[in-house]
Amino acid sequence: MKLPIADARTTWDYTRRLLRANRREFLLIAAMTMASALAGLVGPWLLGRLVDDVSTGTTAGHVRDLVLIAVAAILVRGVIQKVAQQRAMVFGETVFAAMREEFLDTATALPLSTVERAGTGDLVARTTNDIAKLQNAVRFGVPQLTVSVVTILLTVVACLVMAPLVAVAIFVGLPLLLAVVRWYLRRAPDAYQAESATYAALNGTITESVEGASTVDALDLGSRRNGRSDADIEAAYRAELRTLRLRTVLFPGVDLTFVIAPVAVLVWGGYLASQGTVTMGAVTALVMYTFQLTGPVWNLVYWLDEMSVAAVSLARVIGVRLVPADRVASDASPSSGDLEARGVRYAYREGHDVLHGIDLDLRPGERLAIVGPSGAGKSTLGRMLAGIHPPTGGSVTVGGVPLVDLPLEELRRRVALVTQEHHVFVGTIADNLRLADVGASDARLREALAAVDALSWVDELAEGLATEIGSGGAALTPAQAQQVALARLVLLDPDVLVLDEATSLLDPRAARHLERSLAAVLHGRTVVAIAHRLHTAHDADRVAVVEDGRITELGSHDELVAAGGSYAALWHSWQHE
Ligand code: ADP
């Protein structure tokens, strides 16, 4: 299951809305561009007049005046262009920043169940590759396209006004230009997308080979990995060839039209001038104008191409907004902190239940350990109990209200989940902790760290709580990162905590110590711990054994050991390890 992709209409509506929100600035830039394009028309026009005046006889003073005006026009144009370009860049950045913020809002509000089902890879690709492609298009593309279109239109209008009969010749190259560009644009998006896909594959293969170098060596997979890299390089080479072939048609094709147009204007204009229909000056001006079109037309072609690629990315980025919410908050409020699961079923894929009707009453303040074989459904149950996914059957309620009916903030205050996956954010240790409680004092942060046995190593860091961590800062070991995640949980202080192998990265002794000190701090809170180390179960008030999507045994450690079922077997074999 992939995240949705927006259709052309939605994409277009979004673009229009974005431009409309910044309409004043956009119109201002367009007006300045127009002024600069007009100033650019002055030079050739004066040159034309000069030709006419000189051929009919004029004074040196007049020539000097015309030249001075031309120089002034160039200066004025330069100044307007500078201001317009500056504003256009700021405009591009503003629009892009707004898009980015909106995307971040959408991405962070995305139902976790959807992200988990679609896999984080898709979302990450949209956040990185697609946004990067859009960045270029929005920052430079929109301003450049505006400049090109305005300049081309004004130049053509000027030609038509000045000498309509001669101006017709400008369009001689147009059919060829349109044909070549159309041919190219029809093939380019697919070809370039295929090209990026081959590079993505190549990157993947190389990264895997390097990261797994020792495994590759140990299993003697070297030649196989090399073979894969060669195949990927071959594919990338073919894709490159294909796009290169497209460019070998586009570039000469467009260039040819740039040769045809001025020549046509010169020949046709020369003929008309010899007939006395137009002046030589008008022909001179028009030839110059035709040359001046080269830059803007190239720009237009280039950016249309880039924009067609960016449109694909935009559709993918906007697509994220189309994910339907997986829950609607009601305003019911829980009457107590009791968590109850009734007949809970869950299927990641329709028709394949991984939980088959689970009933569980958590007594407030108790510590429940969930154990069982891998793949039995423990993590899935944990996610149900934390309200991450709405169950596909049955219900999980807190104080009588289904978890998924609670507003997200309320839900997180009541139940929180810590898994093996945790993230260190760029910032200080204190910043990382305050994500859970913005107003927490340093003393409170230290308490939380102490509760997860992390205070000693934090104090050993050069700047203690103020040490920068995350990418670019001090590197935490995975176990330390896990402790920071747990300390955050202590600060959040929810009624119910679900720990899914949350201490798995610590060594067994440290893990047990941490769990005990955590238990002391969390006294009175309900804790559900999914455990692969049985000492967690031993220390818990009750143990639930999950097998094949069902709770098969439930009771205290001593009861279950006495009962002699699977838990007893597990416990005995674990003790002899
Ligand atoms: P445990 O935590 O006991 O190892 P899980 O709850 O992770 O078990 O998995 C239970 C079953 O659900 C397994 O068969 C697993 O393959 C499947 N499963 C888990 N997560 C997903 C997912 N995101 N998409 C599809 N199937 C999943």
CA 383 to ligand 1: nearest atom: 6
- In the chain, CATH 1.20.1560.10 covers 8-321
Give 31-91 as a 3 state SS string: HHHHHHHHHHHHHHHHHHHHHHHHHHCCCHHHHHHHHHHHHHHHHHHHHHHHHHHHHHHHH
Q: Which residues of the chain have pLDDT under 50?
A: none
Per-residue pLDDT at 47: 93
251 CA → ligand 1 middle, Å: 53
Distance (angstroms) between ligand 1 centre and the Cα of 355 equals: 10
Q: What top-level class would CATH report for the domain 8-321?
A: mainly alpha
What does the pLDDT read at residue 577?
A: 67
The whole-number pLDDT of residue 341 equals 92
Sign of CA dihedral 82, 88, 92, 98: positive
| Atom 24 of ligand 1, residue of closest alpha carbon | 348
Pocket of ligand 1 (CB under 6 A): 116, 348, 354, 372, 374-380
| Structural element, H or E, at residue 184 | helix 174-211
Quote the ligand 1 centre to 504 CA distance (angstroms). 18
From the CA of 501, how far away is ligand 1's center (Å)?
14
pLDDT at 158: 93
- Ligand 1 centroid–CA 482 distance in Å is 22
Ligand 1 center to residue 375 CA distance, Å? 6
Q: Whose CA is nearest to atom 6 of ligand 1?
A: 377
> Could you read off the pLDDT of 269-307 as tens digits, one per residue?
999 999 999 999 999 999 999 999 999 999 998 888 888
pTM over 0.75: no
Which CA distances in Å does 294 have to 70, 261, 363? 21, 10, 78
In 3-state terms, the chain is what percent helix, strand and coil (to 5)?
70, 10, 20
pLDDT (0 to 100) of residue 242: 94
Measuring from atom 15 of ligand 1, which residue has the nearest CA?
Answer: 375
Q: Which atom of ligand 1 is nearest to the CA of 373?
A: 3
Q: Where in the chain is the domain with CATH 3.40.50.300?
A: 339-575
Q: What is the pLDDT of residue 239?
A: 92
CA of 567 relative to ligand 1 center, distance in Å: 21
Distance 214 CA to ligand 1 centre (A): 29
Nearest CA to ligand 1 atom 14: 375
In CATH, what number does 339-575 get?
Answer: 3.40.50.300
Tell the residue number behind the tokens 């104008």, with chain if given.
289
Pocket test for ligand 1, best of 115, 344, 348, 420 (most atoms within 8 A of CB): 348
Spacing, Cα 549 to ligand 1 middle (Å): 10
For ligand 1, atom 16, the nearest C-alpha belongs to 375
Torsional class of 394: left (φ above 0), alpha (ψ -120 to 50), beta (otherwise): left
Ligand 1 pocket test, pick from 354, 499, 504, 566 with the greatest ligand atom count within 8 Å of Cβ, gives 354
